[in-house]
Structure 1
């Protein structure tokens, strides 16, 4: 389900609506916060169209799912219509970060480069499928590349240079490099 988070000026996506729950308009939410309970600090959020709605947390379920009510959403049809939408808060409403921390939203659109400065592509999304963060990179040619985004695979974030330096495990990029070369060869033959 995780996809590239849409951007809103001055706001950060803190969750996505994954579906409806029941017939009274309740929604299931996947939080992007450090813990699901952190989502409870926001009593108002913004929908993708910029509309501000009240957020009332009903319960914290298994696997990090949060059950909630949004504004005046009172039917299953209305909550179904919100499926897939992200919920935003004003950046100023978020807690200050320690010097070694960064919001994932600040990484989207940065260049992803290897230690030898060769460009892999642009960061499109950061996912957590349960085994740690994975960065999705859109290369200049070919399909997106998914790489580990923690430990020794993440060398350094250079916000001032708008790039992230990565050291993927040996062999992980072999298929991606072949695909990029095939794309180049196809362009030359046309």
Structure 2
């Protein structure tokens, strides 16, 4: 399951919800008549509940959506905090140089000198741009790096090799 976003609040009294998208093209999701909900972003596929999209609008930096299974504000409040996802085959194919966050998580990150900087543990949307959270090591010796996911720092994303090459120094 590819996690697309998270419900962040009810919207109105007719069951609509506000959604914070994890990515920059949520308008493409409107073409998917079925979405999936889960309380956990790492839940196995069989724990995701299918829901039917009945309404969709871009709203500010996010979107608002309505689902047949969420008929009123009480149901929308119960869905607050749920993750929204879809199986890969239901999603539109990303354009060249576009990636689903789920494809980037776990990828090795190396700099121009070939130094291993760790692996992508997650991504954060800051509003201005997305940021890779790169974890190097475990326990007390672990180092976390926050690398902006912008062309100035991301030199190459190789999905086949599961590696991201960055313009970032090991001691930054």
What pairs with 1:140-155 in structure 2 (closer than 5 Å)?
140=137, 141-142=141-142, 144-155=144-155
The structure, 1 or 2, with the larger RCO (C-alpha pairs under 8 Å, 6+ apart) is: 2
The alignment partner of 1:126 has SS state of strand
Q: Is residue 2:28 matched to residue 1:38?
A: yes
1:91 aligned to 84, 88, 93, which one? 88
* 1:84 positional shift: 2.3
CA distance in 1, matches of 2:35, 2:144: 31
1:77–1:59 distance in 2 versus 1, CA, 3 Å: same
Q: Is residue 2:28 matched to residue 1:14?
A: no
CA distance in 2, matches of 1:152, 1:119: 19
Alpha-carbon contact 1:57-1:66 (below 8 Å) kept: no
CA distance in 2, matches of 1:144, 1:71: 41
Q: Encode CA deviations 1:154-188: one digit per residue, 9 max, x unaligned.
A: 122222322211112x6x944xxxxxxxxxxxxxx
What pairs with 1:1-190 in structure 2 (closer than 5 Å)?
11-48=1-38, 49-63=47-61, 65-140=62-137, 141-142=141-142, 144-168=144-168, 173-174=171-172
Structure 2: segments with no counterpart, 5+ residues: 39-46
CA distance in 1, matches of 2:6, 2:23: 11
The alignment partner of 1:38 has SS state of helix
The alignment partner of 1:60 has SS state of strand
Alpha-carbon contact 2:32-2:91 (below 8 Å) kept: no
1:102–1:21 distance in 2 versus 1, CA, 3 Å: closer
Q: Which has the larger radius of gyration?
A: 1
Q: Normalized per residue, which structure has more strand?
A: 2
* 1:108 positional shift: 0.7
* 1:122 positional shift: 1.4
Alpha-carbon contact 2:109-2:166 (below 8 Å) kept: yes
Q: Encode CA deviations 1:127-152: one digit per residue, 9 max, x unaligned.
A: 33122221111221335321112223
Q: Normalized per residue, which structure has more helix?
A: 1
Report the TM-score when normalising by structure 2. Answer: 0.79
Structure 1: segments with no counterpart, 5+ residues: 1-10, 175-190
Q: How much is the aligned-residue C-alpha RMSD, in angstroms?
A: 2.3
- May I ask how many residue pairs the two structures share in their alignment? 161
Alpha-carbon contact 1:16-1:30 (below 8 Å) kept: yes
